[in-house]
A and B are shown apart, each in its own frame.
Chain A
Amino acid sequence: MAAASPCAEPAARNKPDNTAFTQQRLPAWQPLLSAGTALPLFFCVGLACLALGLGLHFSSDTIRELELDYTGAPGSGHNCSRCGNASLAGAGACTCSLRFELPERFPGPVCLYYQLSNYYQNHRRYSVSRDDRQLSGDASGLSNPATECSPFRTDPQGIPIAPCGAIANSLFNDTFALYHLANGTFHPVPLDNRGISWWTDSNIKFSNPELVNGSLEAAFKGTAKPPNWPHAAYMLDTGNPNNTGFINEDFIVWMRTAALPTFRKLYRRVREGNFSSGLPQGTYRLDITYNYPVLSFQGTKKVIFSTVSWMGGKNPFLGIVYLVFGSACILTGFVMLAVHIKFQKQNQMDVE
């Protein structure tokens, strides 16, 4: 009969394709979490963490750091209290100086930082209050700043502010001068203000508006200075045309807003003259022009001298966490090993 003959079978038109993909037989690697993988992983990671932790810890320890708080909170008896009080009262510039000892030599290059605390550069409204177009020298940005800059977009007369925004307006404007006591007199320590910002910032992100008749001042014509500033932007460093206006490096450093409410920013480096190899042990004097008020919001101001290593500045955190976690890993590894040995027999029995 027809049914019995093989040629009478219906054509397999609907038969699915026999591919590894459709049949879910794709070749695959099936790693398994077993004692053979988990235990070595824990021990290896643990040892690696310990090694890294030790390395970081020692590198961090080799970094010399000296912090000088000059906030001058009223009643602190600090040398700068006078200036602090003056800033609270809203008075103008004030100078104070600090004498300090370096207990040991700081090998060069030594960086000089200022640190602010309780200062919310990362506040959303603060950090957006700028106009990158304007800062990149765009003419339309100069005449018509972005709305984010408000309320520092235009002055009360409606003249656009350049640079606009809260960040620029709150530019840190304390200045420091360092003197080293040698042979009974204080000799100035040269401070280098070049190359303190990211290369990409000072060369690409920030640029001055096109000069008009060779004059930067003319380029800024029709703009107002930020209300807090004593001068217009083109007068930030009158002596150096490559460091004035938007490309002033102190300004650029300030404009790179900090992630956290306590932050330090690079002010100067000590790498010139007699001090190119570092700051020798001894007595120093720091003259501070105290312009920047922080006391009204319980902020603090510090000056920090620090050396750097391959891992950057002093930061014990990473080293400690690596050490703690590495030990924890190895400890857990032993616990796991014990558990594995204890339950191996029982688990083996389950298999059989």
Chain B
Amino acid sequence: MHIFLLQIFGFLALMCFILAIGNGIWEHDKGYYFQVYLPWADGVTSAPYSGFLMFWSYVIILNTVVPISLYVSVEIIRLGNSFYIDWDRKMYYPLNDTPAQARTTTLNEELGQIKYIFSDKTGTLTQNIMAFNKCSINGKSYGDVYDVAGQRTEITEHTEKVDFSYNQLADPKFVFYDHSLVEAVKLDDAATHGFFRLLSLCHTVMPEEKKEGNLVYQAQSPDEGALVTAARNFGFVFCARTPETITVVEMGETKVYELLAILDFNNVRKRMSVIVRNPEGGLTLYCKGADTIVYELLDASCGPLKEETMEHLNEFAGEGLRTLVVAYKNLQEDYFQEWHQRHHEASTALDGREEKLSELYEEIEKDLMLLGATAIEDKLQDGVPQTIETLTKAHIKIWVLTGDKQETAVNIGYSCNILHDDMKEVFIIEGNTSEDVLDELRNARKKMNPDSFLDSDEVNIKFENPSTKSRILPEEQANGVYGLVINGHSLAYALEGNMELELVRTACMCKVVICCRVTPLQKAQVVELVKKYKKVVTLAIGDGANDVSMIKTAHIGVGISGQEGMQAVLSSDFSFAQFRYLQRLLLVHGRWSYIRMCKFLRYFFYKNFAFTLVHFWYGFFSGFSAQTVYDQWFITLYNLVYTSLPVLGMSLFDQDVDDRWSMQFPHLYEPGQQNLYFNKIEFVKCVLHGIYSSLILFFIPYGAMYDTVRSDGKAIADYQSFALMAQTCLLIVVSVQIGLDTAYWTAVNQFFIWGSLSLYFAIIFTMYSDGMYLIFTASFPFIGTARNTLSQPNVWLAIFLSIILCVLPVVGGRFLKAQLMPTVSDKILRKIRAAKKRPPPPLPKTRLRRTSTRRSGYAFSHQHGFGALIMSGRNMRPKLPFTTTGTFSPNSEKNRHK
């Protein structure tokens, strides 16, 4: 806006200069001789000096082009639109009684121009709750609900949940819908029992009994917690562990397994195993891990089962679930003893311990028997995939910046629709050296847009020429939809000085970017990078303290007020409780605020130009004497009283389409991103429009009054009548113009517009009345003008003529433009108009189910080192919970007898 103000100042100076020159010439040619009747003012001795003085007089007269009241109005509008955000019930989250909050009131219109969203993952996109959702046991898939006809049905709130009341130790929060799995457990299906036994044994979870009978698991990774809880509910309750034992209540029967070894998880192995001795004395190795890894280790006899399970895995992966494959293996006593010996030696070895251990692990983890697969849902916040889809349709680029591991991040990317299979390719940048990263970035860009390496490419030209100061990159198009996943350590290289250009070019060509394992500082750096090279409005959204830097760096920061404390909210500009409210914030509030602000600015500049430039034209007919066209009172009240409320009413209430349509047609958001509604061209247009109107507003009264008289022969071409006529024309024209610009006529708008006009007439008839003149003689010299002028038919004919001359070209222009060169939003508005006439179609309930070709849904938020910790017993309390107290189990009596 400041650039526009500077231009206006320039324009003002130009006008004053022209008029000052005009005055110099006029005084030389005419004023000098006219001194018989009008001597020059004291001290004025020459025409040029008079022109110089007149320059400053005109600065005073014409300064109304620089709208000082603009700033006040802008602040009022922003404040109003911020209140709408606070008041929106559709952004209120009832569960924790949190309304949306606009914490700054100066950024509303930028909400309508967002091009890049930087989002945190955990707590923002996801709830950080893992839920055991589905599984595949021995070639049979569980977890879906079928209706009577055998059709898979949608799981809703009304779907009957599985009743776990038979199991007193069940976790009441656990929810499962497929009854057939319970049946299988109750029928003593061996594979099912084996599956859940594995889940209850193969993990690093610690049990805790805070209150009596209330068993709580302390899981280092939420995935494991979900799996062990699932086993618990299905009747395999993991109760207690010591460094040497694991106690499990299996279908009401307490069993103590001897824990012989934990083959711990790490990022390379992508699996973990335990070796236990069951109460009967059998030795078993239980293993769970990534499908790609575990499948390599399976025994050849699992052939057909492998196929079926793989099918299920694909299905799970396609739904964005995190999958693990589970397998077991019975061990021979003598082999195990020998292995155990070697394991002990390796784990006490002084050098090369890791390598030795992993060799040993690989040796024993083979020829596994496949049990099945688990599918865990990393619970997304409500409506995240739909929100992402809508925002993507609005051509907003979404970058996920997360501290999580690559697999987890990619998995979430798929499950919340950021990544999908329609993408031509998802590039993964994980190089460990600067050169690798550069190569990977360049290869990706080569694939997306080979032309961008040509010397003729405008970006290359721009950066070869060091003289160009601006670093803003133009938008580069890729030849398809691509995604980019970049690792934290690679990002560190890519953010280094000379490579950041490569990064930003490649990344911005992609529709989606996921940065994983990034530090809070890197999050901010990425945002900074995009701000530096792209002329776009960025938004960062997050919930935790680690997002604060990013939220502060982006143009607009949004805080999710969730569980993770208040730091993000406190440093944000807007806050609400759920990620899904973002689409409403942007597509409804942001878009409206942007449209309103643009309409406001266009109208405001227009009305002030139309108002002021009339003085300019009058200068040519009044000896460039800084004579105003209007009454002083009108000049004082014009911005303050006559035209302030209608434009405020428009800027507070206007909406082109209501919120539902705004969300249904996200394309309507695009004009904001390209800033189509108020830019240099639009500004020039409203200046030209203002100039045109001022010409009409001057020359129609001029022509109508030239040499004419009232119908009784008395004068009407006097200055006061002319002033009244011009100001009446002006006010009616700008009122009609605001009527044209208003798309949404509420009662308030009507009241403001008609009220302002009525007020105008009331005020002029009062100010120009006999009484006012008799009381304040010198202040109201326009006595009688209103009565004598507005009673004349030709005055009204002239007013009517100026209105239609000002307004009809605008109407015609808009109509023809919408017909000949309809913009995207014109087309959508037309579509909405057509749709409004028809009865509204029922909203299609689309479940975002993807037929995926993804191979693996493996993601696991586990960390290395917990196996060793458990085996050492260092994390155990001296008082063992179960074996000593044993109070929470209904079977405790029986246990003791054993």
A111 to B797, CA, bound (A): 23
- Do A125 and B38 contact each other (CB < 8 Å), given the known contacts A22-B84, A30-B743, A204-B774? yes
B700 proximity list for chain A (CB < 8 A): 321
Q: B812 in the interface, Cβ–Cβ < 8 Å?
A: yes
B722 proximity list for chain A (CB < 8 A): 259-260
| B788 engages A200 (CB within 8 Å) | yes
| B87 engages A204 (CB within 8 Å) | no
Q: B714 in the interface, Cβ–Cβ < 8 Å?
A: yes
Partner of A122, one of B715, B719, B822: B719
| B812 engages A332 (CB within 8 Å) | yes
| B784 engages A200 (CB within 8 Å) | yes
Q: Kindly specify which of A38-46, A209-217, A234-242 makes contact with the partner chain.
A: A38-46
Within 8 A of B (CB), among A17-55: 17-18, 22-35, 38, 41-42, 45, 49, 52
CB distance from A46 to the nearest CB of B (A): 9
Partner of B794, one of A126, A199, A318, A329: A318
Within 8 A of B (CB), among A261-301: 261-266, 269, 293, 296-298
Chain A 111-122 near chain B by CB (<8 Å), digits 1 or 0: 101010011111
Q: B98 in the interface, Cβ–Cβ < 8 Å?
A: yes
- Do A343 and B794 contact each other (CB < 8 Å), given the known contacts A23-B89, A26-B653? no
A261 to B708, CA, bound (A): 14
| A111 engages B719 (CB within 8 Å) | no
Q: B626 in the interface, Cβ–Cβ < 8 Å?
A: yes
A240 to B792, CA, bound (A): 31
Q: B641 in the interface, Cβ–Cβ < 8 Å?
A: no
Question: Which of A34, A256, A257, A351 has the most chain B CB atoms closer than 10 A to its own CB?
Answer: A256
| A42 engages B812 (CB within 8 Å) | yes
| A311 engages B746 (CB within 8 Å) | no
| B704 engages A318 (CB within 8 Å) | yes
Question: Which of A13, A35, A38, A52 has the most chain B CB atoms closer than 10 A to its own CB?
Answer: A38
| B717 engages A33 (CB within 8 Å) | no
Q: B827 in the interface, Cβ–Cβ < 8 Å?
A: yes
- Do A269 and B713 contact each other (CB < 8 Å), given the known contacts A38-B815, A351-B831? yes
Q: B819 in the interface, Cβ–Cβ < 8 Å?
A: yes
Within 8 A of A (CB), among B796-851: 797-798, 801, 804-805, 808, 811-812, 814-816, 818-820, 822, 827, 830-831, 833-834
Q: Which residue of B lies closest to A126 (CB)?
A: B38
| B92 engages A15 (CB within 8 Å) | yes
| A30 engages B744 (CB within 8 Å) | yes
Within 8 A of A (CB), among B25-42: 30-31, 33-34, 36-39, 41-42
CB distance from A320 to the nearest CB of B (A): 9
| B705 engages A259 (CB within 8 Å) | yes
CB distance from A157 to the nearest CB of B (A): 18
Q: B282 in the interface, Cβ–Cβ < 8 Å?
A: no
Partner of B716, one of A32, A33, A115, A312: A312
| B711 engages A343 (CB within 8 Å) | no
Partner of A15, one of B97, B787, B816: B97
- Do A350 and B827 contact each other (CB < 8 Å), given the known contacts A16-B89, A41-B811? yes
| B172 engages A111 (CB within 8 Å) | no
| B713 engages A205 (CB within 8 Å) | no
- Do A198 and B34 contact each other (CB < 8 Å), given the known contacts A26-B747, A146-B778, A347-B819? no
Q: B425 in the interface, Cβ–Cβ < 8 Å?
A: no
CB distance from A164 to the nearest CB of B (A): 13
Q: Which residue of B lies closest to A130 (CB)?
A: B781
| B833 engages A32 (CB within 8 Å) | yes
- Do A266 and B713 contact each other (CB < 8 Å), given the known contacts A14-B98, A26-B653? yes
| A266 engages B719 (CB within 8 Å) | no
A343 to B817, CA, bound (A): 12
A201 proximity list for chain B (CB < 8 A): 783-784
- Do A318 and B819 contact each other (CB < 8 Å), given the known contacts A15-B97, A132-B777, A204-B773? no
A263 to B788, CA, bound (A): 18
Q: B706 in the interface, Cβ–Cβ < 8 Å?
A: yes
B95 proximity list for chain A (CB < 8 A): 9-10
| B717 engages A258 (CB within 8 Å) | yes
Q: B702 in the interface, Cβ–Cβ < 8 Å?
A: yes
A315 proximity list for chain B (CB < 8 A): 703-704, 706-708, 794
A302 to B712, CA, bound (A): 20
CB distance from A136 to the nearest CB of B (A): 5
- The binding surface of chain B is classed by DSSP as helix
| B38 engages A318 (CB within 8 Å) | no
B87 proximity list for chain A (CB < 8 A): 16-17, 22-23
| A123 engages B747 (CB within 8 Å) | no
CB distance from B743 to the nearest CB of A (A): 6
- Using a Cβ cutoff of 8 Å, how many contacts connect chains A and B? 292
A129 to B41, CA, bound (A): 11
Q: B621 in the interface, Cβ–Cβ < 8 Å?
A: yes
Q: B94 in the interface, Cβ–Cβ < 8 Å?
A: yes
Q: A222 in the interface, Cβ–Cβ < 8 Å?
A: no
Q: B194 in the interface, Cβ–Cβ < 8 Å?
A: no
B90 proximity list for chain A (CB < 8 A): 23
| B30 engages A297 (CB within 8 Å) | yes
| B711 engages A317 (CB within 8 Å) | no
A259 to B710, CA, bound (A): 15
Q: A11 in the interface, Cβ–Cβ < 8 Å?
A: yes
| B717 engages A263 (CB within 8 Å) | yes
A123 proximity list for chain B (CB < 8 A): 31, 34, 38, 622-623, 625, 627
Partner of B797, one of A52, A120, A124, A146: A52
Q: A191 in the interface, Cβ–Cβ < 8 Å?
A: no
B639 proximity list for chain A (CB < 8 A): none
CB distance from A106 to the nearest CB of B (A): 13
Q: B436 in the interface, Cβ–Cβ < 8 Å?
A: no
| B781 engages A16 (CB within 8 Å) | no
- Do A166 and B38 contact each other (CB < 8 Å), given the known contacts A23-B89, A317-B703? yes
- Do A204 and B783 contact each other (CB < 8 Å), given the known contacts A126-B38, A313-B709? yes
| B804 engages A313 (CB within 8 Å) | no
A318 to B794, CA, bound (A): 8
Q: Which residue of B lies closest to A293 (CB)?
A: B36
Within 8 A of B (CB), among A89-121: 109, 111, 113, 115, 118-121
A170 to B35, CA, bound (A): 11
| A16 engages B704 (CB within 8 Å) | no
- Do A260 and B706 contact each other (CB < 8 Å), given the known contacts A127-B627, A200-B783, A347-B819? yes
| B622 engages A120 (CB within 8 Å) | yes
| B719 engages A258 (CB within 8 Å) | yes
Q: B793 in the interface, Cβ–Cβ < 8 Å?
A: yes
A204 proximity list for chain B (CB < 8 A): 770, 773-774, 783-784
A314 to B713, CA, bound (A): 11
Q: A73 in the interface, Cβ–Cβ < 8 Å?
A: no
- Do A259 and B815 contact each other (CB < 8 Å), given the known contacts A23-B87, A23-B89, A297-B34? no
CB distance from B836 to the nearest CB of A (A): 9
Interface residues of chain B, those whose CB is within 8 Å of chain A, are 30-31, 33-34, 36-39, 41-42, 57, 83-84, 86-90, 92, 94-99, 172-173, 592, 621-623, 625-628, 653, 655, 658-659, 700, 702-723, 743-749, 770, 773-774, 777-778, 781, 783-784, 787-788, 792-794, 797-798, 801, 804-805, 808, 811-812, 814-816, 818-820, 822, 827, 830-831, 833-834
Please provide the 9 A-B residue pairs with the shortest distance between their CB atoms, ordered closest to farther. A200-B784, A259-B722, A22-B87, A297-B33, A317-B703, A170-B37, A124-B625, A111-B713, A124-B627
A-B contact pairs, 28 of them (CB 8 A): A10-B97, A12-B94, A14-B92, A26-B653, A26-B747, A26-B748, A33-B814, A119-B34, A119-B37, A122-B627, A124-B57, A127-B627, A132-B781, A170-B37, A200-B788, A261-B621, A298-B30, A311-B711, A311-B794, A312-B794, A313-B709, A315-B707, A317-B703, A318-B797, A336-B819, A339-B819, A347-B827, A350-B822
Interface residues of chain A, those whose CB is within 8 Å of chain B, are 1, 9-18, 22-35, 38, 41-42, 45, 49, 52, 56, 109, 111, 113, 115, 118-127, 129, 132-133, 136, 138, 146, 150-151, 166, 169-170, 196-201, 204-205, 253, 256-266, 269, 293, 296-298, 306, 308-315, 317-318, 321-322, 325, 329, 332, 335-336, 339-340, 343, 347, 350-351
